């Protein structure tokens, strides 16, 4: 951040002490790191804090406490930043803050008021692809010499950090629709006030806080109301859920992604239209089109059609802030992906193991379809822990029966948080399925199965949005020991 931009934040508050309740989370931990970079005194607490966030906070010399107790808040900090995880009314720390009259706010509001004010915010929203698309946008701007700030809910391989202040007005933020805190039930993204907004897609998710899709759409329309008329909304052409949001009222120009040639939306005759055409090869190459005119080719290691749409969204967003399309394409040809998004964690002559952050049946489906299109003759084994709030509550159980269709078979892991009987999914699954509830047994089962001797490669895709009981290290160590 430049000296002028730091001055805008205000010298007086940069001497203050910020205390983050829930500092171990992706958003809160990243905010703590940014606050430290700004010059604040920073500390915080959480129930449990795991790597990599624990390591990042320690490296920044940020004091972290385990658990939420009132004595950690004495003497009182200048401001408490409240996360939304396991911090309801009745929590000791929350009651202490309220009773003592300590100033408090949410993480999303602090970000919007302190860091995003007066900046050109590029917000990436949607059910799927936020982390990958935000990483692409940040990398394109970096490649173009714009040195953006960013806050991304993952680890982009092209950067050494997931959040930084940046040196220019541009700031890329992953815009989450999850609620803000116990006292603010609006989605986090309503605090970000973007000038460029990407709506990747929209499906039902977060069954723990949203009763139906309409409730999520209402939050997305609140986001629409914050975007200036001189800004830009980038939206898919074929998403009924997003089009319903836009039809509620949109005061901003719209660029469409995936629009078929010759088709126009009513009232959007002059809108930019982005599309792609896959090459007749197996290397993932595709051509980018703007208004049906070829702009250039992208060839990368990322799998699946969904990542091509992510690329179009990122190129369109970068174009809005002034990056030429050809430069954006050059940048994406050097994009290395994001950790835990089909990240190869083990590879031998006949076995490949992937770590994938699968949080929704659609994400599972598109990821496996992408792998199948790249490895049509190989064996694909999906190992899925349905641990998100939505999947663990069983809200999308019908979708789970078909989402692994591109795999040869699936192993469902029943963790302690699963609130329903996974056996009904195994019985109705469109591919052979098993239920396992013990990590050691699961690893033994996977390493006891030798790859087929006919040259057919084996792909093991471990899909979870959590630590999955440490299976990643346990399985790769076992495979190394066996000399697979």
Alpha-carbon span 304 to 367, nearest angstrom? 6
Alpha-carbon span 306 to 180, nearest angstrom? 28
Q: Does residue 252 lie in a domain region?
A: yes
Q: Tell me, what CATH number does 131's domain have? A: 3.40.1190.10
Tell me the percentage of the chain whose pLDDT exceeds 90: 58
Q: Tell me, what CATH number does 413's domain have? A: 3.90.190.20
Cβ neighbours around 333 below 10 Å, total = 14
Q: Does residue 31 lie in a domain region?
A: yes
The helices-and-strands tally (H runs, E runs) of the chain is: 16, 23
Question: Across all residues in the chain, what is the average pLDDT?
Answer: 88
Task: Look at residue 455 and tell me whether its pLDDT is greater than 60.
Answer: yes
Task: Kindly report, residue by residue over 238-286, the tens digit of the pLDDT.
Answer: 899 999 999 999 999 999 998 544 444 544 546 799 999 877 555 678 9
Average pLDDT over residues 111-128: 95
- At 264 the pLDDT is 47
Asked if residue 198 and residue 79 are part of one domain, the reply reads: no
| 323 band by pLDDT with thresholds 50, 70 and 90 | very high
- At 48 the pLDDT is 81
Asked if residue 404 and residue 306 are part of one domain, the reply reads: no
For residue 23, give the 3-state DSSP assignment: coil
Q: Taken in order 124, 130, 135, 137, is the CA torsion positive or negative?
A: negative
Asked if residue 66 and residue 173 are part of one domain, the reply reads: no
Q: Does residue 338 lie in a domain region?
A: no
Q: What is the DSSP secondary structure assignment for residue 76, as one 8-state letter? A: P
User: How many CA atoms within 13 Å lie on the side-chain side of 59?
Assistant: 11
Instruction: Answer yes or no: are the C-beta atoms of 24 and 1 closer than 8 Å.
Output: no
Asked if residue 221 and residue 99 are part of one domain, the reply reads: no
Task: Kindly report, residue by residue over 284-316, the tens digit of the pLDDT.
Answer: 789 999 999 999 999 998 888 889 999 999 999
| 6 band by pLDDT with thresholds 50, 70 and 90 | low
- At 1 the pLDDT is 60
Q: Which of 177, 198, 225 is nearest to 317 (CA)?
A: 198
Q: Which helix (H) or strand (E) holds 65?
A: strand 63-66
Domain boundary among 301, 332, 363: 332
Asked if residue 325 and residue 215 are part of one domain, the reply reads: yes
Alpha-carbon span 364 to 201, nearest angstrom? 15
Task: Look at residue 108 and tell me whether its pLDDT is greater than 50.
Answer: yes
Asked if residue 374 and residue 435 are part of one domain, the reply reads: yes
Query: In Å, what is the CA distance from 244 to each residue of 221, 237, 352?
Result: 9, 12, 41
Query: In Å, what is the CA distance from 96 to each residue of 73, 104, 181, 183?
Result: 8, 11, 17, 15
User: Does the N-terminal peptide bond of residue 52 adopt cis geometry, omega within 30 degrees of 0?
Assistant: yes
- At 330 the pLDDT is 98
Asked if residue 406 and residue 318 are part of one domain, the reply reads: no
Instruction: Answer yes or no: are the C-beta atoms of 82 and 94 closer than 8 Å.
Output: yes
Average pLDDT over residues 337-365: 87
- At 154 the pLDDT is 81
Domain coverage including residue 320: 116-332
Task: Kindly report, residue by residue over 48-100, the tens digit of the pLDDT.
Answer: 887 778 888 998 999 999 999 999 999 999 999 999 877 888 999 999 999 99
From the number of C-beta atoms within 10 Å of its C-beta (0-12, 13-18, 19+), residue 321 rates as buried
Asked if residue 397 and residue 326 are part of one domain, the reply reads: no
Strands 163-164 and 149-151, bridge-based pairing: antiparallel
Q: Does residue 361 lie in a domain region?
A: yes
Q: What is the DSSP secondary structure assignment for residue 226, as one 8-state letter? A: T
Domain boundary among 65, 83, 107: 107
Q: Does 358 or 63 have the greater pLDDT score?
A: 63
- At 386 the pLDDT is 82
Asked if residue 198 and residue 66 are part of one domain, the reply reads: no
Q: Which residues contact 429 (CB under 8 A, 6 or more apart)?
A: 400, 401, 402, 404, 410
Residue carrying the six token digits 């004091």: 63
Q: What is the DSSP secondary structure assignment for residue 444, as one 8-state letter? A: H
From the number of C-beta atoms within 10 Å of its C-beta (0-12, 13-18, 19+), residue 389 rates as middle
Q: Does 24 or 269 have the greater pLDDT score?
A: 24
Instruction: Answer yes or no: are the C-beta atoms of 205 and 390 closer than 8 Å.
Output: yes
Q: Which helix (H) or strand (E) holds 320?
A: helix 305-320
Asked if residue 235 and residue 142 are part of one domain, the reply reads: yes
Domain boundary among 85, 107, 129: 107
Average pLDDT over residues 343-372: 88
Q: Does 428 or 358 have the greater pLDDT score?
A: 428
Strands 179-181 and 184-187, bridge-based pairing: antiparallel
| 2 band by pLDDT with thresholds 50, 70 and 90 | low
What's the structural domain count of the chain?
3
Asked if residue 286 and residue 180 are part of one domain, the reply reads: yes
Asked if residue 317 and residue 350 are part of one domain, the reply reads: no
Q: Does residue 337 lie in a domain region?
A: no
Task: Look at residue 341 and tell me whether its pLDDT is greater than 70.
Answer: yes
Task: Look at residue 363 and tell me whether its pLDDT is greater than 90.
Answer: no
For residue 436, give the 3-state DSSP assignment: strand
Q: Tell me, what CATH number does 44's domain have? A: 3.40.50.720
Q: Does residue 91 lie in a domain region?
A: yes
């Amino acid at each position: 951040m430049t000296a002028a931009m730091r001055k805008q934040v205000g010298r007086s508050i940069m001497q203050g002490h910020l205390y983050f309740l829930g500092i171990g989370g992706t958003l809160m931990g990243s905010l703590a790191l940014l606050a430290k970079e700004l010059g604040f005194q920073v500390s915080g607490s959480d129930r449990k804090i795991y790597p990599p966030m624990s390591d990042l906070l320690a490296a920044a010399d940020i004091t972290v406490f385990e658990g939420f107790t009132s004595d950690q808040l004495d003497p009182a900090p200048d401001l408490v930043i409240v996360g939304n995880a396991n911090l309801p009314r009745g929590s000791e720390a929350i009651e202490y803050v309220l009773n003592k009259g300590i100033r408090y706010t949410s993480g999303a509001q602090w970000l919007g008021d302190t860091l995003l004010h007066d900046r050109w915010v590029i917000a990436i929203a949607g059910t799927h692809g936020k982390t990958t698309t935000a990483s692409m946008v940040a990398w394109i701007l970096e490649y173009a010499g714009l040195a953006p700030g960013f806050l991304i809910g993952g680890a982009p391989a092209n950067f050494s950090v997931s959040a930084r202040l940046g040196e220019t007005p541009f700031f890329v933020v992953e815009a989450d629709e999850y609620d803000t805190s116990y006292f603010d039930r609006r989605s986090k993204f309503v605090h970000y006030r973007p000038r460029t907004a990407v709506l990747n897609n929209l499906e039902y998710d977060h069954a723990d806080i949203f009763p139906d899709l309409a409730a999520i759409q209402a939050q997305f329309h609140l986001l629409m109301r914050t975007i200036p008329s001189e800004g830009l909304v980038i939206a898919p052409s074929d998403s009924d859920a997003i089009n319903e949001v836009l039809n509620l009222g949109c005061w901003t120009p719209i660029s469409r992604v995936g629009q078929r040639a010759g088709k126009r939306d009513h009232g959007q005759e002059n809108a930019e239209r982005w599309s792609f055409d896959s090459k007749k090869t197996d290397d993932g190459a595709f051509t980018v089109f703007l208004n049906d005119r070829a702009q250039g080719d992208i060839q990368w290691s990322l799998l699946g059609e969904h990542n091509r749409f992510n690329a179009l969204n990122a190129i369109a967003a970068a174009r809005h802030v002034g990056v030429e399309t050809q430069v954006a394409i050059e940048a994406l040809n050097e994009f290395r992906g994001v950790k835990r998004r089909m990240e190869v964690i083990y590879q031998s002559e006949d076995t490949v193991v992937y770590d994938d952050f699968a949080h929704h049946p659609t994400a599972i489906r598109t990821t496996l379809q992408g792998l199948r299109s790249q490895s049509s003759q190989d064996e694909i084994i999906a190992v899925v822990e349905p641990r998100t709030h939505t999947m663990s509550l069983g809200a999308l159980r019908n979708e789970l029966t078909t989402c692994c269709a591109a795999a040869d078979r699936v192993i469902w892991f029943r963790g302690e948080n699963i609130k329903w009987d996974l056996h009904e999914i195994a019985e109705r699954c469109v591919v052979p399925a098993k239920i396992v509830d013990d990590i050691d047994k699961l690893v033994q089962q996977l390493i006891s199965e030798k790859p087929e001797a006919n040259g057919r490669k084996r792909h093991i895709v471990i899909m979870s949005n959590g630590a999955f009981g440490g299976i990643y290290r346990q399985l790769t160590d076992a495979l190394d020991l066996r000399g697979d």
